[in-house]
Amino acid sequence: MSKQPAVICLDLGGSFVKLGVMDAQQQLTILDQQKIPAQSWPDFTALIGRMIEQYQQYFSADSPLAISTAGIVSPESGEMFASNIPAFHQRNLNQSLGELLQRKVIVHNDADCFTLAEALAGVGKGHKVVFGAILGSGVGGGLVADGRIITGQNGLTGEWGHGPITLTEVDIAGETVRLPRQPCPCGQKGCLDSYGGARGLENLHRTLHHISMSSINIIAGWQQQDRQAQRTLQVWLQLVSQPLAYTINITGASLVAVGGGLASVTPLMNALNDEVQRYVLRSTHHPLVVPGMFAHNGGMIGAALLAHQTA
């Protein structure tokens, strides 16, 4: 078997482009990070071309370009839906960038790529079905079964943060807390995304206490036994754990790898695991919900592994 070439890796977010390279031993090296020209396709492609040319000593002419990106990739047309990055919204990045750079280009959603990285090389290694739960600024997800990303209709899979599923009543120590269904940027009302991620936690705290506070300070207050912060996190844990338990029941996942900023708070992840174990049909002796190993670069690692799968 011939040696696989190094893979050029890009992570495309709403603010930055991150460039890296994965070698034949599947070791990722981060090379550069630049502010993304989010509004202009010519500026975006010019930046990508310059970045690759600047670090061309790290890969070869036949190295594929693997891209992990915010947004959804249509499995039918390859068209991107990334409204927060107009530079390539409604474009086929595989085709367009491939023609410009004269390389094979593989593009996939960043939550899916994170989940693949965790399933193949991270905390989900050895598990048949792994769900990736993103608890960052918002709520997202991905699903991997038998080492392959499950890509559903229109590229949507694992989007447990959307749909009118949020509880409107939560019982805390004998008190019934009533919550309004919040409008979501996706166009629906009552999505978990409104309360579940870091911005959602801030929204929840504001709804419960009429106080604006950063998610970092809310979590710090919770750890320091602050009464208001504790109440907010008690409500948050119920709001998040029940949809996540439903997701585990539906997908059959034996492990949930959590990514995003909230995954870095180990006591919070432990508490979330305890809550989820209460609601799944069959609890486990091993933790079901665990922080991922690749919180910072999981998307790039997963995209590169996907490029190896499709070589």
Give per-residue pLDDT as tens, 75-128: 888 899 888 899 999 999 999 999 999 999 999 999 999 999 999 999 999 999
3-state secondary structure (DSSP) of residue 174: coil
Determine, yes or no, domain membership for 204. Answer: yes
Q: Which domain holds residue 141?
A: 126-291
Residue among 151, 154, 82 nearest 306 (CA): 151
- Shared domain check, 134 and 280: yes
Backbone angles phi and psi of 282, in degrees to 5? -140, 115
Q: How many domains does the chain have?
A: 2
For residue 123, what pLDDT is reported?
98
For residue 165, what pLDDT is reported?
86
- Shared domain check, 96 and 71: yes
For residue 3, what pLDDT is reported?
64
Determine, yes or no, domain membership for 238. Answer: yes
- Shared domain check, 303 and 262: no
User: DSSP state, 189?
Assistant: B
The residue behind tokens 């990303």 is 149
Determine, yes or no, domain membership for 119. Answer: no
Q: Domain of 152: which CATH number?
A: 3.30.420.40
- Shared domain check, 227 and 133: yes
Determine, yes or no, domain membership for 56. Answer: yes
- Strands 129-135, 255-259: pairing is parallel
- Shared domain check, 107 and 87: yes
Q: Is 27 exposed, middle or buried (0-12, 13-18, 19+ CB in 10 A)?
A: exposed
For residue 1, what pLDDT is reported?
41
- Shared domain check, 207 and 162: yes
| pLDDT of the chain, 311 residues: tens digit per residue | 456 789 999 999 889 999 999 998 889 999 999 999 999 999 999 999 999 999 999 999 999 999 999 888 888 888 998 888 999 999 999 999 999 999 999 999 999 999 999 999 999 999 999 999 999 999 999 999 999 999 988 888 999 999 888 889 999 888 899 999 999 888 899 999 999 999 999 999 999 999 999 999 999 999 999 999 999 999 999 999 999 999 999 999 999 999 999 999 999 999 999 999 999 998 888 999 999 999 889 999 999 999 999 87
For residue 11, what pLDDT is reported?
96
pTM (global) more than 0.85: yes
- Shared domain check, 86 and 146: no
Give per-residue pLDDT as tens, 231-265: 999 999 999 999 999 999 999 999 999 999 999 99
Q: Is 53 exposed, middle or buried (0-12, 13-18, 19+ CB in 10 A)?
A: exposed
